[in-house]
């Protein structure tokens, strides 16, 4: 299939591994899905310490399940990327541990206090849901099938995060102030979650032309703001003065003033070249090295099983 045919046929769940896809499509889809899978892994690593730090047994159980879900999502997505025939799952995991694999900007920053938890579990996961819901209509069918499960479980994650935010903002004045401080620190990062503006995005146009994406970065960012600015205010959070959020009364929509966002920092992070990036990637690399013996044992067992001489029937 040539590229022009792909663009003409592009639509929800249009292409599958049985189709002879052009290399440009397979590379673009692999890059996009691998980025998504890496982000699920690194999001799980960011939240894992809060299983122990959670203030109650119910919160600990919920966080344990959430982290398990995120790693499971990554496995589904690596398999969907692998089905394109460009990279294997092991190659993608090695790239992540070596600092070559890219992942979402929000997961490059450390999260240190319980007051920061809903910034990921409610706002970032909420932003993810806005993006992931559109990917149920992506043109690569294995990716869309994975998103059916991912979106179902992410819906619970957002409710979990909203419950934590409600609890914090109904707590003591000191708790409310600390949560507000966390919100002010994370808010610009959350807005940049969707990536650069359309005019600065390298891959957006092609991804939409071949049906991998159905919404642009700017469209996703605006719909997120329309939903989550009112939700933040509902729980008593004050949206910071900067970056400026502008409200269009005629259209009842919110837009961010892009000039107020630190795009230099964003692009440094995108290259895995910040201090926080190195810390997060090293954490992943150490974890992968620690269980290398498990993978080696499984491979040895599989090789032995495949080479074992069948016994003669009685």
CATH of the domain at 181: 1.20.1260.10
Which position has the higher pLDDT, 84 or 285? 84
Residue 110 domain flag:
yes
Residue 47 lies in a domain: yes
Please say if the pLDDT value at position 165 is more than 90. Answer: yes
| HEC letters along 222-265 | HHHHHHHHHHHHHCCCCCCCCCCEEEECCCCEEEECHHHCCHHH
Q: Is the pLDDT of residue 265 over 50?
A: yes
314 belongs to a structural domain: no
pLDDT of residue 314: 47
Residue range 87-126, pLDDT digits in tens: 999 999 999 988 899 999 989 998 889 999 999 999 999 9
**294 pLDDT more than 60:** yes
Average pLDDT value for residue range 38-63: 92
Residues 6+ apart with CB under 8 A from 82: 88, 89, 92
pLDDT band at residue 62 using 50, 70 and 90 as cut-offs: very high
List the one residue out of 117, 118, 154, 120 whose CA is nearest residue 134.
Answer: 154
Strands 245-248 and 253-256: antiparallel
Average pLDDT over the chain, rounded to an integer: 90
Whether residue 312 is contained in a domain is answered as: no
Domain boundaries, position 52: 3-303
User: What does residue 113 show for φ and ψ, rounded to 5 degrees?
Assistant: -125, 155
Residue at 313 is within a domain: no
Number of domains in the chain: 1
Q: Which of these, 192, 217, 220, 193, lies nearest to 205 by C-alpha position?
A: 217
pTM of the model: 0.88
Give 178-194 pLDDT, tens digit per residue.
Answer: 999 999 999 999 999 99
pLDDT tier at 274 (50, 70, 90 boundaries)?
Answer: confident
**Residue 248, domain member (yes or no):** yes
Q: Is residue 313 over pLDDT 70? A: no
**Would 160 be classed as within a structural domain?**
yes
Note whether residue 309 is domain-resident.
Answer: no
């Amino acid at each position: 299939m040539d590229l022009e045919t792909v663009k003409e046929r592009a639509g929800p769940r249009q292409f599958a591994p049985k189709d002879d896809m052009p290399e440009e499509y397979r590379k673009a889809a692999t890059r996009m899905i691998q980025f998504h899978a890496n982000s699920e892994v690194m999001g799980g690593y960011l939240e894992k310490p809060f299983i122990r730090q959670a203030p109650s047994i119910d919160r600990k159980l919920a966080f344990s399940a959430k982290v398990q879900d995120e790693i499971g999502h990554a496995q589904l997505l690596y398999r969907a990327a692998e089905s394109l025939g460009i990279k294997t799952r092991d190659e993608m995991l090695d790239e992540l541990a070596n600092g070559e694999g890219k992942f979402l900007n929000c997961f490059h920053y450390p999260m240190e206090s319980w007051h920061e938890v809903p910034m990921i579990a409610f706002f970032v996961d909420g932003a993810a849901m806005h993006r992931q819901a559109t990917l149920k209509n992506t043109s690569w069918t294995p990716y869309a099938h994975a998103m059916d499960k991912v979106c179902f479980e992410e819906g619970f994650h957002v409710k979990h995060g909203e419950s934590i935010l409600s609890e914090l903002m109904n707590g003591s004045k000191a708790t409310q102030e600390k949560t507000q401080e966390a919100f002010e620190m994370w808010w610009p990062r959350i807005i940049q979650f969707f990536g650069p503006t359309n005019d600065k995005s390298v891959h957006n146009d092609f991804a939409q032309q071949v049906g991998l994406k159905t919404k642009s970065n700017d469209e996703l960012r605006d719909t997120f703001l329309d939903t989550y600015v009112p939700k933040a205010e509902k729980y008593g959070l004050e949206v910071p003065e900067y970056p400026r959020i502008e409200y269009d009364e005629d259209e009842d929509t919110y837009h961010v003033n892009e000039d107020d966002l630190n795009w230099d920092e964003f692009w440094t992070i995108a290259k895995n070249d910040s201090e926080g990036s190195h810390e997060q990637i090293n954490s992943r690399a150490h974890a992968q090295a620690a269980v290398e013996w498990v993978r080696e044992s499984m491979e040895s067992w599989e090789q032995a099983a495949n080479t074992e001489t069948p016994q003669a029937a009685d």
